[in-house]
Chain A
Amino acid sequence: MVRSLYLAKASFLSAKRYRIDWYGAFLTPLLTIMPVVLLYYFGTESGLVRFFYGATNTKNIIGYLLLGAAYWNYVEVLWGSVFALRYYMRIGQLEELFIMPVSSIGYILSWSVFGLVKVTVESVPIIVLAVLLNLMTFNLVEFALAAGVVILSIIASFGLVFLFFGITLRFKEGDELVSLLGNAAPLIGGMFFPVSVLPKGLEYFAYAFPFTWGLDLSRHFLMSTNTLLDLEKESIVLLALSFLYLGLGAISFKILQNRARRKGFQGF
């Protein structure tokens, strides 16, 4: 644990050296939502506002998008552990990494803690923007509830990290799957609009995703938007899915890591 935290600290200190990396990270979440903001801004006669008010109980589309971007920042950053693993595979340092006195879980923890610290710094512009524009009106209790939902979502996200870390160790190409999921998740999870807009097949897929429920609940607590189910049922679904993902992820990681060790780590 202590070693992992030291590694996280080392990663953070290295990251601090390259300021240009931070500029990109500050801007990317805002630029991702910008096209939708422009659609909204230049499309005053469009049905976007009407739709949002009907489906979500809010006309505050910018707040809706900002909150979605901030939420996804936290959920997705953990998946960066898989890219870090792949990076070490590519530059031929994986074997060295695994003979260090740090376990695989230790590395996941280290890279995740680093990611969470980094994303907190990177999310400052989004949060400041939301507060400056007075986009969200919430009290401390609601904020605490929303924070609890984000923590549950992070637990679920760890489940996926374990699964993909194991896949990467065993089949090498886990980063491709993470990249696919990372790109698909904002659309499927409702970052840009309620999942009811999605084609039916994707909509059903969205409900199996804990983050759809997590984002929906966070928005409800911070923006009083409508929820997919009633509050109690939706909280139970999120709780159950989060721990199910974590459990399945941990088991698959154990199996895949053992198989990978038997087969050998070399190559990429």
Chain B
Amino acid sequence: MRKILHLVLKEMKIRLKYRFVWVNMALTPFFIIGPYVFSSRIADVNSLAENVLIGALLWYWLNQYFFGVGDGFTEEREEGALISVVLAPISLLAFLFSKAADTFLMNLYITFFTLLFFYLSGIKLEIHLYFLLLLAVSGVYITFFSIFFAALSLWKKRIRSINSTAQFFFGVLSGMVNPVENFPSYVRLISYMIPLTYLISIGRSIIKNGNMSGFVPQLLILTGLSFAYLILGVWLLKKAENEIRKKGEWESW
């Protein structure tokens, strides 16, 4: 745990050196999810913009985890530093968890500014304590999902090329802008395999009802699914690690 905290601290110290990153992080999410939220406002249905904002915000959390954790080995690989990570007395899984903790902190920063900018643009989301809890939970569960992607990316290097595309797929299929119930049944089958689907649905319930009642079954499925991805991810990570060790490919990309 201390090792993870040290790594998080290191990431934060590095980031503090780059001032433009903070400006970019504060503004970009508003601009990326803005088109979807503003389009829904055109529709003249008051609750629609709120629903889309919740969906898009949670989707943006997934984006950050997919870049931060899912793509967690890429930068080190390109800079030739992955071999140092492997030689360091910390497991690859712990290394990814440190990236997840760092992403979580950045996501809090992002969320604050995003909600502020939407508030100033006239889209006001009533934030409940439960919603903040959900964000924390989503951090854990999306981390598990991202570890699965990171393992895939370690195993098959070029997978990272479709990271952004995959994120959009997950967003659309998870019901970022519309409830998944609108989709045909065969599309819904895929939707229900994505943890984000449950998080968005729970988030909308919280904002609508102001409490956490009525979605325990969803939370249970979400927990089961996320742990399944974690187990699969850890297994794949080990498999990829062993394969790379055998082939001596730590420095190739």
Contacts and interface: CB of A to CB of B under 8 A. Distances in A.
B182 to A, nearest CB: 5
B87 interface: no
Contacts of A27: 165, 168
A31 B121 contact: no
A197 B37 CA distance: 11
Interface residues of B, number: 46
A45 to B, nearest CB: 8
Contacts of B21: 173, 176
Nearest to A172: B18
Interface in B135-175: 158-159, 161-165, 168-169, 171-172
A31 B39 CA distance: 16
Contacts of B58: none
B38 A183 contact: no
Given A24-B161, A39-B36, A193-B38, A199 B120 contact: yes
B122 interface: yes
Contact of A91 (B18, B31, B79, B163): B79
Interface stretch (B42-50, B100-108, B221-229, B242-250): B42-50
B84 interface: no
B134 to A, nearest CB: 21
Interface string A160-197: 00000000000101101101100110111001110001
A18 B43 contact: no
* Majority-rule SS of B interface residues: helix
Contacts of A34: 168, 172
A47 interface: yes
A48 B28 contact: no
A197 B164 contact: no
A20 B35 contact: no
B67 to A, nearest CB: 11
Contact of B20 (A36, A42, A173): A173
13 contacts: A27-B165, A32-B168, A35-B171, A39-B48, A46-B43, A47-B44, A90-B79, A174-B20, A176-B20, A176-B24, A180-B27, A188-B31, A197-B42
Given A20-B162, A46-B43, 15 more contacts: A31-B172, A35-B171, A38-B182, A39-B48, A43-B43, A90-B75, A90-B79, A91-B79, A173-B20, A173-B21, A174-B20, A183-B31, A187-B31, A187-B38, A199-B120
